[in-house]
Structure 1
């Protein structure tokens, strides 16, 4: 049976409309989950109480301790978990695209080990821009993550900015910073070592509105850049660099631009939350299995799934054994690994 070009076009447009329709629906679902999980904690509160607390803070009315906890502790934590999950998932999508490696993640180029090294130096030796403070740990983690990215991209540029060069350079730098971190830990006392190791677990504890605002701005700008390069990423992934060049695309330049924004976004997240692995690996795969490899849809869907995954993981971590907080980096692995394995088994043709 012959299928006309108009029929193919009509089916394609229908699929695109469905994918576009589910983006706002997914965003609404995420907002509903945020509202529900804000009320969940050591003391459960209703949506009415949450709205009342927000209103009182905005209008400078008197607020009780419970309302302060909602506005200054729970809400920043909830929003930061969603933003961090979105950022890690999108960065993972970009890294998988520019390296053409489905096992790549935001930490492929060694950002996590570099950030851990910077944080360890601040916690153990007190060497940072803001000594003996949480801000010193954050600044050190961010600076070392950026330095790591500079090293990797400098080596990659000399090697022609190819995907293989980025991955191999990242692996080498990752081992280097891991060795330095281990050496630093060797000289730490028990208390310092416990603090440094706990930082690597990843946690949303201590979230502040300033963190939310800064990360929100960085994520928004990065998403705009990524979406603008979505067609270019499609060409690079599906046809390779040679095909991209025939379309007038400079693959090395595009890979550098989106890579730099991905690194900057990841570095900002890690400096606030510590190392939260697996979100940047599993969320892009979930999105890819749902909507395919078109980066116009893969990027926003990865962000949504990543945000939901980290939001649910953090909520479980802070409520399961309350008042004890389980680091979100641990919980997300317990949730993500079985889900990821299930997806591989159910869709094994996509991988093998």
Structure 2
């Protein structure tokens, strides 16, 4: 077989593999859209698809008309879009003000945690690494617990009371990254050093959470336990406006580093020979993943297993190429959390189960299945 024929065969195989991966990503997008549509109609008060469309269309028309009214001050046109209204007055409130931001928060959180997990596993070449392994969840939990239990004593006048828990959780999540960075700079940015530093720092912050549980009264203890279970109770359009730019920026930044992550998977020496500054890449990825995960966890509380489950499933489906693995994991994480949150709020309706509990059950069953089926070879 001459070289031209071999090149033709290789090119054909590459095109087939590329088409399969793109088809899988499109299928996941369609599945996410279907899950979102079902989620927005399901609940204690059922809403028809027609009312969902009219409610969202009316809200979008109102937004566009507001923008047009603003530009009328500069270029008068007087044009307005007719505002659609659903058949039921309460449907608009349920869809626009309650369910739509909740679904978007679940999607953004699932994407952030899943991509953070796959990137951390890539830079450390360890399939069991996630944002929680490196102490991020424990640090955010301590920050939230500190404000829930002691907020009345340490509240700052320029921080609104309702925002103090979110700001504190985010700040301590970022602080855990800074501590890991400091330790790794002293000991060198090896994989083992980063993982061990994260585990130790996580235990320290977890001890702080236990102390705050011990000294809190019954009311504060209940609020703290509920936050630690994880849920979408903070969902609002203000939350989405804050999280959406952060999530998009972090995902885009991590996807742009996909080639470097692929090279790093072959080993530090090979990556260095290709001109990649390995230590700098690890620390940059660590900072971006911490920003993505801690910003979401600050609003949702502790939600586990997304950063482990989504990358594992996607490696089975699409392989280890981070150019496809990152978007695939993002979509898979969004699907898992959206479906889990819908299940959590409908299975015992009108009582709502914290989605963190559902994720622990699903994650435990998933990894137990892998172990019993003997699929260790697929874990990485």
TM-score band, normalised by shorter chain: over 0.9
Answer yes or no: is 1:74 the counterpart of 2:99: yes
Q: In structure 1, what is the Cα distance between the partners aligned to 2:374 and 2:34?
A: 29
C-alpha contact 2:314 2:332 (8 A) present in aligned 1: yes
Q: In structure 1, what is the Cα distance between the partners aligned to 2:368 and 2:98?
A: 34
Q: In structure 1, what is the Cα distance between the partners aligned to 2:379 and 2:230?
A: 29
C-alpha contact 2:346 2:352 (8 A) present in aligned 1: yes
Match of 2:138 among 91, 113, 116: 113
Q: In structure 1, what is the Cα distance between the partners aligned to 2:377 and 2:285?
A: 29
The equivalent residue for 2:243 is 215
Answer yes or no: is 1:289 the counterpart of 2:321: no
Q: What is the Cα deviation at residue 65 of structure 1?
A: 2.8
C-alpha contact 1:110 1:173 (8 A) present in aligned 2: yes
Q: Which runs of 5+ in 1 are unaligned?
A: none
Q: In structure 2, what is the Cα distance between the partners aligned to 1:139 and 1:351?
A: 35
C-alpha contact 2:311 2:325 (8 A) present in aligned 1: yes
The equivalent residue for 1:101 is 126
Give RMSD over aligned pairs: 1.9
C-alpha contact 1:128 1:139 (8 A) present in aligned 2: no
C-alpha contact 2:52 2:91 (8 A) present in aligned 1: no
C-alpha contact 1:92 1:280 (8 A) present in aligned 2: yes
Q: In structure 2, what is the Cα distance between the partners aligned to 1:41 and 1:323?
A: 8
Answer yes or no: is 1:176 the counterpart of 2:204: yes
Q: In structure 2, what is the Cα distance between the partners aligned to 1:24 and 1:223?
A: 18
Answer yes or no: is 1:7 the counterpart of 2:34: no
SS in 1 for 2:47: coil
Q: In structure 1, what is the Cα distance between the partners aligned to 2:60 and 2:110?
A: 27
Normalised by the length of structure 2, the TM-score is 0.88
The equivalent residue for 2:345 is 318
When the two structures are aligned, how many residues end up with a matched partner? 351
Matches within 5 A, 1:335-346: 335-344=362-371, 345=373
Answer yes or no: is 1:157 the counterpart of 2:182: no
Listed one character per residue, the Cα deviations across residues 284-312 of structure 1 (whole Å, up to 9, x for unaligned) are 00001111111111101111111000001
Normalised by the length of structure 1, the TM-score is 0.94
The equivalent residue for 2:226 is 198
Q: What is the Cα deviation at residue 56 of structure 1?
A: 2.5
In structure 2, do the counterparts of structure 1 residues 191 and 282 end up closer, same or farther at CA, with 3 Å as the change threshold? same
The equivalent residue for 2:254 is 226
Answer yes or no: is 1:140 the counterpart of 2:168: yes
In structure 2, do the counterparts of structure 1 residues 246 and 295 end up closer, same or farther at CA, with 3 Å as the change threshold? same
Match of 2:45 among 38, 43, 46: 43
The equivalent residue for 2:76 is none
SS in 2 for 1:263: helix
Q: In structure 2, what is the Cα distance between the partners aligned to 1:113 and 1:335?
A: 21
Q: Which moved more, 1:9-18 or 1:296-305?
A: 9-18
Q: What is the Cα deviation at residue 212 of structure 1?
A: 1.4
The equivalent residue for 2:70 is none
Answer yes or no: is 1:124 the counterpart of 2:149: yes
C-alpha contact 2:129 2:308 (8 A) present in aligned 1: yes
In structure 2, do the counterparts of structure 1 residues 351 and 58 end up closer, same or farther at CA, with 3 Å as the change threshold? closer
Q: Which runs of 5+ in 2 are unaligned?
A: 63-82
Q: In structure 2, what is the Cα distance between the partners aligned to 1:337 and 1:92?
A: 17
Q: In structure 2, what is the Cα distance between the partners aligned to 1:334 and 1:213?
A: 31
From the CA coordinates, give the structure whose radius of gyration is larger. 2
Q: What is the Cα deviation at residue 94 of structure 1?
A: 0.8
C-alpha contact 1:270 1:276 (8 A) present in aligned 2: yes
Q: In structure 2, what is the Cα distance between the partners aligned to 1:59 and 1:97?
A: 43
